[in-house]
Amino acid sequence: MRDGKIDEISGGLAELKSPAEGVSTIFVVNPSQFSQYRTEIVEYFQSTSASGRIGFVLIEDLRPMTIRTWKKLRLAEAPSWLLAIIRAPISFNFMMAEIQRAAQTLVVVASQNALSGLLALRESEARAINEIGLAMTNHSTVDSMVRLVLEKAIDLCSADAGLVLLRENFGANYREGVNEIKLLRSSGHRFFQKARICKSQHLKLASDSLDPERNATISFILNNVCGVVWEEGWQGPMPYGSARVGSVNPCLPELQFEFDSRNYAIRSFCLFPLRTPSGEVVGFVLLANKKSKKNVFLDSIDDITNGVEFFNTHDLNLLEAMGAQVGVSLDHARLIQDLKRVFESFVQASVVAIESRDPSTKGHSERVAVLTVGLAEAVNSTSSGQYASVSFNASQLYEIKYAALLHDFGKIGVRENILRKERKLYHHELMTIQERFHNLEKQLNLKCLEEYLERLMSRGQVPSREDIDRIHLDVQNISKKLKGYWESILEANEPSVVSAENFQKILEIAAIRALKDEENAQLLLSDEVEKLTIKRGSLSVSERIEIESHVTHSFKFLISIPWTQDLANVPDIVHAHHERLNGTGYPRRLVADEIPIQAKIMAIADVYDALVAVDRPYKLALPHERALNILQGEVHDGKLDPDLFRIFVEARVGELIKLPNLDEESAA
């Protein structure tokens, strides 16, 4: 308390500029002093957070203040720091009671301010922890998650620098602009720097400082799954946390840091393990140099000396809890990664299984996946047409990719001889016809010879040279005619489109009865005629139905898998990829809007790759332009989507796969 003298008020104002933390001061002034220093007092309160630590009591002179004096002093504004006005006449007891009440008010305000600051700090911590929790539960990468954790840890603890190190099986291929740090080599574990934040200066650990065989501190953390803390003046780091073991030597070897020692130093640091629920250490979080004020830079040794303090118990408890929480999240991320690898391996194994049954289509599934995803990405980029507003996110593109990879999986349910059928007749069927021709040729030759012999014997004549030549010529004619029939059959057996002339030739051959007296003298049987007159390709109607059933087999297989939400549409996309806009597709004869857009995209990719793929036993590979012409024909016939085909051509999606070198003319 001051006695009201002007010189002491001046000294008091000097004290106001840097009051001791936690100390509250009341200044007692008279109207003259208050009027003289009011401007300085107001400026001081506006520029500092002195509210709750500084207060004033105004005491009237011997004469009461007039209304003019009240207005001059602007007492009607009632500033919060003017705690009391003591009116004349003044008694000692009354003055002391007012000062005591003012002191109590100041204490209450100071307590409120302290509690408000503490509440704001806790709210900030709660928000940070909530953000970390959200980052751990969403689908962001491990890299982004640990970066966020480090940012929040540095902010909450007011640290100047921080590092996060993870074991190599948690995405260790990524480096944030630093050289690879190989750690824990001899233990069979290696840890890598995944995130680093340095406010004032670049700081990193020495490459060997986390080797448990060289550093007992790291060995202690790994064995006891607890953190360590270090402060300037200590001989070494001290164990911290609920898991620390009391029997262990509390003084551990220091960690080695790399920094510019000319203008930087380490005064405090803490290192906590990131542990899974099983107690496995999967990484570390390290914070260094807790700053007394957050938004300052430590540019010199003096800054370090004056601006760095030690981590308090609250900081360390928070970091310990955070380390356990992050460890749980990393364990969860590892599980997700393992499941994803299992799924991807399963898909690849499925593709291999498909191709092992039909080697001629090797690579088809992968190429269709590339083309389908490429066309979907091109749809994302289009700004005109029916699909200008359509956009596939990363999750949907992932779904499209795996639907394309598995689109032919149902071929496992189709008989292998049908999958590999190269021509209209199977080899054994063709050999049966050939054997029939050979037998018929022998029978016809024998019958021709028998007829001549009968005629000669009936006349009682000996065969002349002319008779023998005539018999030989007739036999040759028979062989020649059968050979011509056989060549027509071989031509018709190819999977190309059957010409009208060849079609008629097969019917003529089928109508021939080589031996009128023989029941089985037909050159071609009815089922053979049916197969040889297939208009396009090599499959009969029943065989084509069985091939088409692979879509249903695929759907039944895929629908039995408990897909995640991101991949839930895979079965439906695969089920519809052979549907056509005009209803001529299979297996459900869907039309237009009944077909998912993903299936429409895959339909174009599937047909294109089937056309340009390397020569198969039943077809030649077509050049790019010829394949586009055929696709254009399918669009014209109302089978494929015209807007998607336009995007396919304009975005040059077909160039995403490597085509074989083709001779345009020969392929045509």
CA distances from 217 to 112, 168, 286, 581 (A): 43, 20, 13, 69
CATH number of 358-417+543-667: 1.10.3210.10
Domain residue spans of the chain: 6-119, 139-329, 358-417+543-667, 427-537
**CB-CB neighbours of 523 under 10 Å:** 21
Who has greater pLDDT, 11 or 302? 302
Indicate the pLDDT class of residue 622, thresholds 50, 70 and 90: confident
**pLDDT mean over 246-253:** 59
Strand partners, 513: 522
Dump pLDDT digits (tens) for 142-183.
777 788 888 888 888 889 999 888 876 654 443 333 334 444
Q: What is the pLDDT of residue 398?
A: 92
CATH 3.30.450.40 fits 139-329, yes or no: yes
Instruction: Locate 371 and state its tokens.
Output: 């083309």
Looking only at the bridges linking them, the beta strands covering 268-275 and 227-231 are antiparallel
Dump pLDDT digits (tens) for 443-494.
777 777 777 777 767 766 666 667 667 777 777 777 788 788 888 888 888 7
Q: How far is it, in rounded angstroms, from Cα 635 to Cα 604? A: 10
Q: Is the pTM of this model over 0.75?
A: no
Who has greater pLDDT, 613 or 310? 310
Query: What stretch of H or E contains 264?
Result: none
Q: Which of 174, 196, 171, 172 is nearest to 183 (CA)?
A: 172
Q: How far is it, in rounded angstroms, from Cα 178 to Cα 194? A: 10
The 3-state secondary structure of 599-646 reads: HHHHHHHHHHHHHHCCCECCECCCCHHHHHHHHHHHHHCCCCCHHHHH
Q: How far is it, in rounded angstroms, from Cα 530 to Cα 510? A: 10
CA distances from 460 to 300, 446, 452, 465, 472 (A): 137, 21, 12, 16, 21
Angle at Cα 100 formed by Cα 94 and Cα 101, nearest 5°? 90
pLDDT over 60 at 249, yes or no: no
Listed as own residue / partner, the contacts of 106-109 with beta carbons closer than 8 Å and 24 or more positions apart are 106/24, 106/26, 106/52, 106/53, 106/55, 107/24, 109/51, 109/52, 109/80
Q: What is the pLDDT of residue 405?
A: 93
Q: Which of 152, 199, 145 is nearest to 174 (CA)?
A: 145
Dump pLDDT digits (tens) for 545-591.
887 888 999 899 999 988 888 899 999 999 999 999 999 999 999 99
